């Protein structure tokens, strides 16, 4: 049996927003991702997908249950050296350039200076951003920002890539580039946790797919068992309307 | 209309309670004091332009402003000089000048000038050498005090010394002043006092030689004690009083 | 430490790219030139007026960091989610807070250094324009000490801003609390003096006296770091006083940041 690199066991999370009623994001999430697989998470809005990712990144603290990321507590910064995160709306500093961000990632990952520069060149070539590397992020198009954020997420060669809607807003060329990078990344033995509303991408890229609804994992499917995209859509809709 | 606005705004600032202004100035008390001083100088200039001489209310407004300025920055020298040259010398507001100079004595313990000004006002304007002497003795103890001050303290009753003390005070003020207009005004005053002093010297010599003061100042010319009668730069006339003192009809110099 | 320096460097670079910063520096340089001309209206204390003005501008330049940049960058990080950019790396929340603080402190130091240089050249210009006679009381050592102490005072305010930003959820509230801290910090001495010895005819309720006495110890005494008048009059600021103030400043900053880290560690971030 493959190692479980990500584990959620009966995890609960309720947000207590000021002056508002409490909102339960995760009622009881139990989920496991195996090492080396591409695991897709789908679900309607409000299902708890974002909260799941935020808990993995340590941005949000779960109320109860157990969470493990490569056998580390995700709230500890040490666990972050194993993950690379691409958010749904990339949040790089608009006044700084991609090179500034990549240099930062290199310093934090304790890379020697020479190696930082080598790695920067590699990544710029990988995401096709060599020309725009010194331009401020704020001047990038949506697609350029997405590629820049992916390069930043993968700088330190993390074992786990957490990608939230990585193809959102991209043109077909950009989408192909991202998909190729994800697949190559996975072929190198790394794990990918992938959230998307584009079911064709999910079915194409993922080994297994988890369908979340109302703060829990409603069902888990093997991609190989799905006969068509329509079947995945049916499962999604039937789960979402329960 | 602008003049009226300036006056109303200025007098309103002067009515602000000092602790409130200090608290509102936060860490910028020095700069607020500087701006208030600038306003006071402009207000003085404006009053002189409009009325040729500030009114009693104008002087009171300026005193209140100087009081605020010296509460904000007690070591700021300009307001004390303004108090001495304007409030005391020009407006005759010796009590008000004394209130301000008393603050300078405490805030500038290394400076002889506040005590010197207080002493000067006492003997020169108020004719009270007994009151002046302790101030002058105190001034003499300061490290930057000129050597003649100690001697002055013991000679307050001699009239000639009083004019000389005024000359010395003005010489220092003129040397110390940057503003060209203020410098010119003080220089005119200094010249007038020097004329007065030379007349007094000539009168003293006449009296020593003949046993009496002459009937008029023109007698000094005819007797050869002075070449010619000086002209009062303030437009008045020098007149000899019965007790041998010289008086200017322009009344811009306070002599007794 | 490397991580903290990396965050500090990123924060510093980000701060330098703020257009408002350059606008402010240009405005400040114009103001100092104006000071050179205005000081000529004064009769004697030209150097005092010039130093008052230049040190006030230097202070205002430094204060822009806590009031605008610190609050803007911290709440901006949270609202625009750029905090994720940092925390998704191998960076702890403690390192984030400390790195951000040092970056913003460095930014404050840079602004105040530039304005300090402008002060030096303004004073040089003044002595050439008005003559050395009016600059006899000038003590560059006192001016420099005053700027350093002002910097420590502003650094304390920066530390408190971090605390407010971790406690509140909006930049508006953080700004209000910072303004309140600044005003209390600069007027607490006067208020304490007033309530403990009110003028004749004025009575102060015991509850107010107690509240003011508590405020005195809870809020930072920023007025203690204001030595502009001392420098303006060319008086020496004793080294022991400066050392004690710096010690107080460092302790208060450490306390503010420690409290910020504790609160920040327990907060949900986005």
In this prediction, residue A43 carries a pLDDT of: 86
Average pLDDT along chain C: 90
Q: What is the mean pLDDT of residues A118-127?
A: 93
Residues of C in contact with A85 (CB under 8 A): 84, 88
Is residue A53 predicted with pLDDT exceeding 70?
A: yes
Chain A CB contacts of C169 below 8 Å: 18
Say which of B19, B22, B179 has its CB closest to residue C41. Answer: B179
ipTM of the complex: 0.89
Set of chain C residues whose Cβ sits within 8 Å of the Cβ of A61: 266, 268
User: Are C88 and A57 in contact (CB < 8 Å)?
Assistant: yes
Average of pLDDT values for B161-179?
79
Q: A212 or A229: whose pLDDT is higher?
A: A212
Q: Give the closest residue to C69 by CA, choosing from C108, C109, C98.
A: C108
| A107 with C269: Cβ contact below 8 A | no
Question: A192 forms bridges with which residues in the sheet?
Answer: A38, A161
Confidence bin at B70 (pLDDT 50/70/90):
very high
Q: Could B19 and C194 be called an inter-chain contact, meaning their C-beta atoms sit closer than 8 Å?
A: yes
- At A139 the pLDDT is 93
Residue A74 pLDDT more than 80?
Answer: yes
- For residue C183, pLDDT over 60 is answered with yes
Q: Looking at residue A79, what is its pLDDT? A: 82
pTM above 0.90, yes or no: no
* pLDDT value at residue B255: 38
Highest-confidence segment of A174-183, B244-253, C56-65:
C56-65
pLDDT range class, residue B254, cuts 50, 70, 90: very low
Contact C269 A54 (CB under 8 A): yes
Instruction: Detail the DSSP E strand segments found in chain A.
Output: 4-15, 23-34, 38-42, 64-69, 83-86, 160-164, 191-195, 208-213, 216-222
* pLDDT, tens only, B218-246: 888 898 888 888 888 878 888 887 777 78
- The reply to whether residue A57 touches residue C268, judged by beta carbons under 8 angstroms, is no
Q: Report the distance separating Cα C270 and Cα C88, nearest Å.
A: 13
**Interval B3-59: pLDDT, tens:** 555 555 666 666 778 888 888 899 999 999 999 999 998 888 877 766 667 888 889
Which of C38, C44, C131 lies nearest to residue B77, judging by beta carbons? Answer: C44
Per-residue pLDDT of C70-114, as tens digits, reads: 999 999 898 888 998 998 888 999 999 999 999 999 999 999 999
- List the single range of A113-117, A191-195, B157-161 with lowest mean pLDDT: B157-161
Cβ–Cβ below 8 Å for C6 and A60: no
Let me know if chains A and B touch, i.e. at least 3 Cβ pairs under 8 angstroms: no
A235: closest CA of chain C, how far (Å)? 30
Give B71's pLDDT tier (boundaries 50, 70, 90): very high
pLDDT recorded at residue A167: 83
- Which chains have 3+ CB pairs within 8 A of B? C
Contacts of B75 in chain C (CB under 8 A): 229, 233
Secondary structure element (H or E) that encloses residue B247, with its range: strand B246-248
Nearest to C190 among B22, B179, B182 (CB): B22
- Which of A76, A93, A108 has its CB closest to that of C89? A108
Rounded to the nearest angstrom, the minimum Cα separation between C11 and chain A is 10
| Predicted confidence (pLDDT) per residue in A128-161, tens digit | 899 999 999 999 998 899 999 999 999 999 999 9
Provide the pLDDT for residue B9.
63
Mean pLDDT of A162-185: 87
**Residue of A93, A101, A153 to mutate when probing chain C, most C C-beta within 10 A:** A93
C 100-139 residues inside an 8 A Cβ radius of A: none
**For residue C194, which residues of chain B lie inside 8 Å, CB to CB?**
19
pLDDT tens, residue by residue, A7-37: 999 999 988 765 556 788 888 889 999 999 9
Please name the member of C85, C90, C268 whose beta carbon is closest to the beta carbon of A91: C85
- Model confidence at C176, pLDDT cuts 50, 70, 90, reads very high
Question: Least CA distance to B45: which residue of chain C?
Answer: C41
**C130 vs chain B: nearest CA distance in angstroms?**
8
Q: Average pLDDT of C43-48? A: 86
Counting beta carbons within 10 angstroms of the beta carbon of residue A24, is it exposed (0 to 12), middle (13 to 18) or buried (19 or more)?
middle
What pairs with residue A24 in β-bridges?
A14
Query: Residues of chain A whose C-beta is under 8 A from some C-beta in C?
Result: 15, 18, 54, 57-61, 76-78, 80-81, 83-85, 87, 89, 91-93, 95-96, 100-101, 104-105, 107-110, 136, 152-153, 156
Burial of B54 (0-12, 13-18, 19+ CB in 10 A): buried
């Amino acid at each position: 049996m493959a190692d479980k690199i990500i584990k959620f066991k009966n995890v609960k999370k309720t947000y207590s927003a000021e002056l508002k009623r409490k909102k339960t994001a995760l009622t009881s999430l139990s989920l496991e991702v195996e090492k080396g697989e591409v695991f897709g998470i789908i679900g309607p809005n409000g299902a708890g997908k974002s909260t799941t990712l935020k808990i993995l990144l340590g941005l949000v603290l779960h109320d109860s249950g157990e969470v493990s990321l490569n056998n580390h507590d995700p709230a500890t910064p040490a666990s972050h050296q194993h993950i690379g995160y691409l958010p749904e709306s990339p949040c790089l500093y608009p006044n700084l350039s991609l090179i500034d961000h990549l240099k930062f990632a290199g310093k934090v990952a304790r890379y020697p200076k020479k190696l930082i520069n080598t790695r920067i060149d590699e990544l710029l070539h990988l995401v096709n951003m060599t020309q725009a590397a010194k331009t401020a992020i704020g001047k990038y198009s949506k697609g350029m920002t997405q590629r820049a954020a992916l390069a930043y997420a993968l700088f330190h060669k993390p074992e786990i890539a957490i990608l939230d809607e990585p193809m959102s807003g991209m043109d077909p060329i950009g989408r192909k580039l991202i998909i190729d990078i994800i697949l190559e990344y996975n072929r190198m033995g790394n794990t990918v946790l992938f959230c998307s509303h584009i079911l064709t991408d999910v079915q194409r890229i993922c080994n297994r797919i988890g369908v979340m609804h109302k703060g829990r994992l409603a069902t888990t499917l093997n991609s190989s068992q799905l006969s068509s995209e329509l079947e995945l859509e049916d499962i999604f809709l039937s789960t979402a309307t329960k | 209309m602008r003049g009226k606005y300036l006056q109303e705004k200025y007098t309103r600032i002067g009515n602000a309670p000092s602790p409130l202004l200090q608290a509102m100035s936060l860490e910028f008390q020095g700069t607020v004091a500087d701006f208030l001083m600038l306003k006071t100088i402009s207000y003085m200039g404006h009053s002189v332009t409009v009325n040729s001489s500030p009114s009693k209310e104008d002087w009171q407004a300026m005193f209140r402003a100087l009081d605020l300025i010296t509460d904000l920055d007690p070591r700021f020298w300009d307001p004390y000089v303004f108090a001495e040259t304007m409030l005391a010398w020009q407006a005759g507001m010796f009590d008000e000048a004394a209130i301000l100079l008393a603050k300078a004595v405490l805030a500038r313990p290394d400076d002889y000038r506040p005590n010197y000004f207080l002493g000067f006002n006492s003997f020169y304007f108020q004719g009270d050498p007994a009151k002046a002497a302790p101030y002058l003795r105190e001034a003499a103890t300061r490290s930057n005090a000129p050597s003649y001050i100690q001697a002055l303290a013991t000679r307050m009753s001699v009239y000639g010394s009083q004019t000389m003390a005024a000359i010395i005070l003005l010489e220092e003020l003129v040397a110390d002043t940057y503003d060209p207009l203020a410098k010119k005004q003080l220089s005119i005053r200094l010249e007038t006092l020097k004329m007065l002093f030379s007349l007094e010297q000539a009168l003293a010599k006449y009296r020593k030689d003949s046993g009496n003061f002459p009937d008029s100042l023109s007698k000094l010319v005819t007797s050869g004690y002075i070449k010619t009668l000086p002209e009062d730069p303030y437009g008045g006339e020098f007149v000899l009083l019965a007790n041998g003192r010289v008086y200017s009809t322009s009344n811009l110099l306070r002599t007794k | 430490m490397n991580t903290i320096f990396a965050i500090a460097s990123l924060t510093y670079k980000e701060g330098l790219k703020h257009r408002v910063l350059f606008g402010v520096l240009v405005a400040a340089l114009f103001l100092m030139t104006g000071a050179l001309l205005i000081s000529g209206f004064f009769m004697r204390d030209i150097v005092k007026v010039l130093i008052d003005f230049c040190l006030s501008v230097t202070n205002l330049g430094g204060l822009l960091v806590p009031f605008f940049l610190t609050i803007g960058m911290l709440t901006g990080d949270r609202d625009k989610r750029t905090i994720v950019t940092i925390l998704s790396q191998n960076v702890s929340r403690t390192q984030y807070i400390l790195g951000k603080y040092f970056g913003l402190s460095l930014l404050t130091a840079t602004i105040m250094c530039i304005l300090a240089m402008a002060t030096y050249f303004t004073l040089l210009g003044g002595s050439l324009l008005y003559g050395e006679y009016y600059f006899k009381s000038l003590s560059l050592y006192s001016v420099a000490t005053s700027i350093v102490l002002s910097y420590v005072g502003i650094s304390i305010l920066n530390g408190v801003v971090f605390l407010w930003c971790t406690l509140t959820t909006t930049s508006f509230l953080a700004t209000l609390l910072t303004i309140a801290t600044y005003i209390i910090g600069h007027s607490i001495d006067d208020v304490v003096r007033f309530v403990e010895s009110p003028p004749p005819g004025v009575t102060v309720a015991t509850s107010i006296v107690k509240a003011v006495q508590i405020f005195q110890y809870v809020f930072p005494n920023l007025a203690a770091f204001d030595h502009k008048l001392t420098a303006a009059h060319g008086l020496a600021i004793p080294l022991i006083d400066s050392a004690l103030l710096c010690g107080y400043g460092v302790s208060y900053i450490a306390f503010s940041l420690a409290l910020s880290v504790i609160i920040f560690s327990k907060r949900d971030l986005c």
